[in-house]
Amino acid sequence: MKSHNAHAIQHRAGRLAAAAASALLLGLTGLAAEAAAQDRPTPYPAMEDRQSGELFLSPGAARTVDVPEGYTALMIGDAEIADVMPLNSRSVHVVAKKMGSTTLTVRGAGGRAMANMAITVGPDVNGLKQRIHEILPAETRVAIRASNESIVLSGPVGSPVALGQIMTLAESYAPGHVVNLMSVEGTQQVMLNVRFAEMRSSTARDLRLNVKRDPTGGNPSLDITTGDTLTATAGNLLRTFGKASLVFSAGDGDLTLLFDALETRGLVKTLAEPNLVAMSGDTASFLAGGEFPIPVAVDTQRANGPNVTIEFKQFGVSLAFTPTILADGMINLVVAPEVSSIDPSVSITNGGIIIPGLRVSRANTTVELRDGESFTIAGLLRNDYQNQIRQFPFLGDLPIIGALFKSTGFQRDETELVIVVTPHLVTPRRGRLQTAADNYIPPSDFELFLLGRQTGSAGSVRPEDRVLLRSAPGAGGIEGPHGHVLY
């Protein structure tokens, strides 16, 4: 029994010794393989900014590149784009000169090509990314890529102003080679509510807004004595230009409510109230006036005399607005008002045809205000405009200025043309818009003739009238009485 146990112990010891020897042999084999791998040269090691044998550099930049050991020659495709200098048996120095693409070829013994590297010299994309991050830290979703000699910009930005600043920075890195694929997110439409009104000059003075016309033709004065009518930066924006003055209102809707209250008391008369919609960066214009014909000679080299064609020249009150939405919700508004009238004193006579001249007052200025804030333009018309209507009676039929010219208060220098401009940020609405008549229920004969009702009840809707009750899809609605109810 004892001999049998001793034999089993010896057998286990032999197996353990064999396993230890095998493990030792495998460990030595792994160490030998690792040592052999370390002794072998690493062919063409990868670089941080190089993939599959490609190297991207900006003009003037340099980079050290590892090449296969034992090379005999270095060949560059275009020495004007990049230059290469050997450092040792395994490293070369590549210097970028100008934008373009070339190839570095490494040759060994017998002229055999050992490696090829595509070198692209383009704009400094990393430098541009750093500058944008420093100047516009909020614009984190802009992707910047290099494409040959160009910079490709893509992704959303917060405002057109930020887009323009990014484009300016990119142009400094690649002049004339910037591809803009960026998009501006958010509301980009501005609706301008323009209100033409005739206001009594005494009312303007009572409001501490002295926009009295100067009969001698001088610039009107402007006096603001209320403390909260201007925004913090309006002092730098308030100016008198030509024959017009600007007045700012900081309250949202305060100026509109004020004009409505004055109109109910007969101190203000609204002549027109158009709405203009413009995209951010585009121009919207409005003209209240007309056109008059002007003969123009063409083909003056004809033997029988030149041909005469007719062109039409616009005149009246015109306003042009160019809104730009800023990043913080402010609206930058370029305002270009113009007033022109037919002036017989500068008319000329040619071949018995009287060609009238124009007296023009125009200006261009820039204001900044928020959604719902208003500003007014006054002093556009002079007192001597009433003389023009006597010589050209058709001026009294023109919109806005015709009603103003025929006003006895204006002819007596008691009223003033005031233009109120209020910008609003707007977005399109899905679905069909409703009018006041969409939910109107026609009365039945019984309700109309016997009960005297102008509207019917829901139970009296006739089948042919049900089409009138279709409402636009989506949530919303009106609570309480609505529509046009006649009594």
What pLDDT, on a 0 to 100 scale, did the predictor assign at position 460? 52
**Residue 442, in any domain of the structure:** yes
pLDDT of residue 35: 41
pLDDT band at 218 (very low <50, low <70, confident <90, very high): very low
Does 190 map to a domain?
A: no
More confident: 258 or 365: 365
What is the CATH number for 80? 2.60.40.1080
* 463 and 322 part of one domain: no
67 assigned to some structural domain: yes
Do 281 and 361 have their domain in common? yes
Q: Look at residue 26 in the predicted model and tell me its pLDDT.
A: 42
**Same domain, yes or no, for 70 and 137?**
no
Q: What is the 3-state secondary structure (H, E, C) of the chain?
A: CHHHHHHHHHHHHHHHHHHHHHHHHHHHHHHHHHHHHHHCCCCCCCCCCCCCCEEEECCCCEEEEECCCCCCEEEECCCCCEEEEECCCCEEEEEECCCEEEEEEEECHHHCEEEEEEEEECCCHHHHHHHHHHHCCCCCCCEEEEECCEEEEEEEECCHHHHHHHHHHHHHHCCCCEEEEEEECCCCEEEEEEEEEEEEHHHHHHCCCCCCCCCCCCCCCCCCCCCCCCCCCHHHHCCEECCEEEEEECCCCHHHHHHHHHHHCCCEEEEECCEEEEECCCCEEEEEEEEEEEEEEECCCCCCCCEEEEEEEEEEEEEEEEEEECCCCCEEEEEEEEEEEEEEEEEEEECCEEEEEEEEEECCEEEEECCCCEEEEECCCCHHHHHHHHHCHHHHHCCCHHHHHCCHHHHCCCEEEEEEEEEEEECCCCCCCCCCCCCCCCCCHHHHHHCCCCCCCHHHCCHHHHHHHCCCCCCCCCCCCCCCCCC
When the pLDDT of each residue in the chain is averaged and rounded to a whole number, the result is: 68
Instruction: Determine what percent of the chain is predicted with pLDDT higher than 70.
Output: 57
For position 419, what pLDDT does the model report?
79
Residue 236 above 50 pLDDT? no
- Please indicate whether residue 217 or residue 313 has the higher confidence score (pLDDT): 313
User: How large is the average pLDDT for residues 295-317?
Assistant: 76
Is 94 a domain residue?
Answer: yes
Mean pLDDT for 193-200 is 77
pLDDT greater than 60 at residue 23: no
Last residue of a domain, one of 184, 202, 224: 184
Q: Would residue 80 count as lying in a domain?
A: yes
Using pLDDT thresholds of 50, 70 and 90, give the confidence band for residue 303: low
Question: Is residue 252, in this structure, part of any structural domain at all?
Answer: no
Answer yes or no: is 9 within a domain: no
- At 270, the pLDDT band (50, 70, 90 cuts) reads confident
Of 174-183, 301-310, 333-342, give the range with the top mean pLDDT. 174-183
Question: pLDDT digits over 80-121, tens only?
Answer: 899 998 888 788 889 998 888 888 888 887 777 888 888 888
- pTM for this one? 0.48
Whether the Cβ atoms of residue 103 and residue 77 lie closer than 8 Å to each other: yes
Query: In sequence order, what are the beta bridge partners of 367?
Result: 333
Of the ranges 322-336, 374-388, 463-477, which one carries the lowest mean pLDDT score?
463-477
Claim to verify: residue 160 and residue 292 sit in the same structural domain: no
Query: Residue 170's pLDDT is what?
Result: 92
Provide the pLDDT for residue 169. 92
Question: For 274-278, what is the mean pLDDT?
Answer: 87
Do 273 and 400 lie in a common domain? yes
More confident residue, 59 or 382: 59
Say whether both 340 and 401 belong to one domain. yes
Lowest mean pLDDT among 26-30, 288-292, 314-318: 26-30
Residues 115 and 143 in one domain: no
**Is the same domain home to 466 and 407?**
no
Which has the minimum average pLDDT: 30-44, 180-194, 195-209, 313-327?
Answer: 30-44
Domain that holds residue 141: 125-184
pLDDT at 279 over 50: yes
Mean pLDDT value across residues 313-327: 83
Query: Is pLDDT above 80 for 301?
Result: no
Residue 422 sits in the same domain as residue 435: no
In which band, very low, low, confident or very high, does the pLDDT at 280 lie, cut at 50, 70 and 90?
confident
CATH code: domain of residue 160: 3.30.1340.30
Q: How many separate domains does the chain show?
A: 4
**Domain match, 343 and 440 both:** no
Q: Are residues 282 and 136 in the same domain?
A: no
Question: What's the pLDDT tens digit per position in 58-67?
Answer: 888 888 888 7
* Of residues 300 and 205, more confidently modeled: 300
At 117-149, the pLDDT tens digits run 888 888 888 889 999 989 888 888 899 988 878
Residue 238 included in any domain: no
pLDDT in tens, 433-447: 777 677 777 888 888
- Which of 161, 184, 207 is the endpoint of a domain? 184
pLDDT mean over 31-40: 42
User: Do residue 281 and residue 348 come from a single domain?
Assistant: yes
Mean pLDDT of 412-422: 69
Position 166 scores a pLDDT of: 92
